[in-house]
Structure 1
Amino acid sequence: MNHLDKLESKSIHILREAYSEFKNLGMLWSIGKDSTVLLWLARKAFFGHVPIPLIHVDTHYKIPEMIEHRDRLAREWQLDMIYGENSEAIEKKLTFPDGNVTRMQCCKNLKSEALKNTLNGKWPRYRFNHDTDRYELDKNTEPYTGVIVGVRADEEGSRSKERYFSPRNVNNDWDLGDQPPEFWNQYKTDFAPGTHVRIHPLLDWTELDIWEYIERENIPMVSLYFDQGSGTRYRSLGCYPCTGAVESTARNVREIIEELKIGKFSNIAERSGRAQDKEDGGGLEELRKDGYM
């Protein structure tokens, strides 16, 4: 087995372990490269069918192409696609683009709070109906006790403190000092009632691993990751008011891999274009303690 084979095998093992151990399981899909690789791995783990609902938190500030890509793959791959949102914050304009809150507070409102209340079923969830080809109010309000997330330890500091099976309390709060040890590929999957568990099958992957796997598997990606002639592209995707592009002429996956191999971004954080990170002191630890992805 080569390096990518080993990563793939371990991630598939973790996906199958999570599916066997947690009754109500969901998988977050941000439409970015990492969570799309995670979705691809889930299709491999379960022989082309994804038996886990895909959950997207819609802030209403995502780049339109991302939403189009989400719905196109939902149709093509017959995904059980669900989205949630903080409709009250959007209606009351409690957002950074409206000038009423900071970027950090906006992330808390539109992402952390929306995610928490989408997962626990207290706020409306909308499920894609493949028969009518539209999203409809989901009648199932049962909370998700486990959620699979495509975070990587090398992406930013707080994510390096995660475990493969990382417990949160009933409010999705994260206690960094109370994380289970994980030795010799042995994972703790039995937690006290009321514990919400995040599962991280991509924890050991690097940015280069992700792009080399995308190339090997020919995984469809949004074109925002590639230079369209402006000499810039997105390296990390988020809400358009807070996400900047990087200088790059990479027009395809192979050229992105070459950039990474020559160290073009070796001294530049992957999320350097995400303005909310700077408000959080250069990291996401405070947001993540409160349930951020």
Structure 2
Amino acid sequence: MSDLASLESQSIYIFREAFHRFEKLAMLWSLGKDSNVMVWLARKAFFGHVPFPMVHVDTGKKFAEMYAFRDRYEKEWGLKLIRGTCPPIEEMDPTLPGSARSAARKTAGLKKILDEHKFDGLFAGIRRDEEATRAKERVFSPRGEGGKWDFRDQPPEFWDQYKTDFPPGTHIRIHPLLHWTETDIWRYTLAEGIPTIPLYYSKNGKRYRSLGDEDITHPVDSEASTIEEIIVELETTKVAERSGRAMDHESEDAFERLRAEGYM
């Protein structure tokens, strides 16, 4: 089995295990490269149909290309989409740095959706190699009240043996891409022909490696205008994937504080 096939097989197993274990599931859809691979894998896991809703927590500040992608593929992929809104920044913790405070709106918007729909399991497309705090995650990650994450108290997951028997009422975040890398995502996207947002490809010497709100996300220097060129670039670049995210350049603990409060 090739390495991509092995990654795909493990992710599909995680989807099916979660579907078997939890009654009310949903999937976060951020519209970026990782979550689009996640949707693609879910469609494969369930024979072309995604049997749970997508959740897009909309800050109202995404790129126009992201909204166009969402509206097109919601229909083409036959997705059931829940659109959530976010409270104003003035309601967020004033002790957070500016960009992190803006990002915290998504956490508050997600909490509102969880309170309304009572999902006991939520798929999220995070990867361990993406950011240091995310490296502490588990595939099946229990959350406390309000979606809070205690990274000091997570179940062990040795040899891909996942704990799924949690007490009734426990909210679980499920991470089918946790074992993937950025290069894996692009190699799989190329191999499968998965649609992508054009912002990922170089224009005038700049491209986006990670997509968030337009006002706090910036492009990186790059001449990579195809997936093949992106893969070659990733083999040598020293630039961090989230270097274009403004909140990642703020205080050292800002991202960890956001994650502990339930940030995706």
How far residue 194 of structure 1 moved from its aligned partner, in angstroms, is 2.6
Q: How many residues align?
A: 260
Trace 1:117-196 onto structure 2 (pairs within 5 A). 117-121=112-116, 142-196=117-171
TM score, norm. by length of structure 2: 0.95
Residues 26, 55 of structure 1: 8 Å contact kept: yes
Listed as ranges, the gaps of 5+ residues in structure 1 are: 96-100, 122-141
Residue number among 256, 261, 264 corresponding to 1:285 in the alignment: 256
Match of 1:89 in 2: 88
Q: Which residue of 2 aligns with 1:252?
A: 226
Q: Which runs of 5+ in 2 are unaligned?
A: none
Deviations 1:113-155 (A, max 9, x none): 111111221xxxxxxxxxxxxxxxxxxxx31111001000000
| 2:243 matched residue in structure 1 | 272
Corresponding residue for 2:190? 215
Higher helix share: 2
Q: Displacement, 1:283?
A: 6.5
Amino acid at match of 2:145: V
* Percent identity between the two aligned chains: 53
Task: Specify which of 106, 115, 119 is matched with residue 110 of structure 2.
Answer: 115
Contact 2:205/2:222 (<8 A) preserved:
yes
CA distance in 2, matches of 1:103, 1:189: 35
Local SS of the residue matching 2:147: coil
One-letter amino acid matched to 1:107: A
Quote the Cα distance in structure 2 between the aligned partners of 1:59 and 1:276: 15
Structure 1 stretches of 4+ moved >2 Å: none
Equivalents in 1 of 2:255, 2:239: separation in Å? 16
Partner of 2:19: 19
Are the equivalent residues in 2 in contact too, given 1:169–1:194 (CA < 8 A)? no
Q: Does 1:104 align with 2:100?
A: yes
Secondary structure class of the residue paired with 2:43: helix
CA distance in 2, matches of 1:197, 1:219: 28
RMSD: 1.5
Cα offset, 1:177, TM superposition: 1.3
Note the C-alpha offset of 1:94. Answer: 5.6
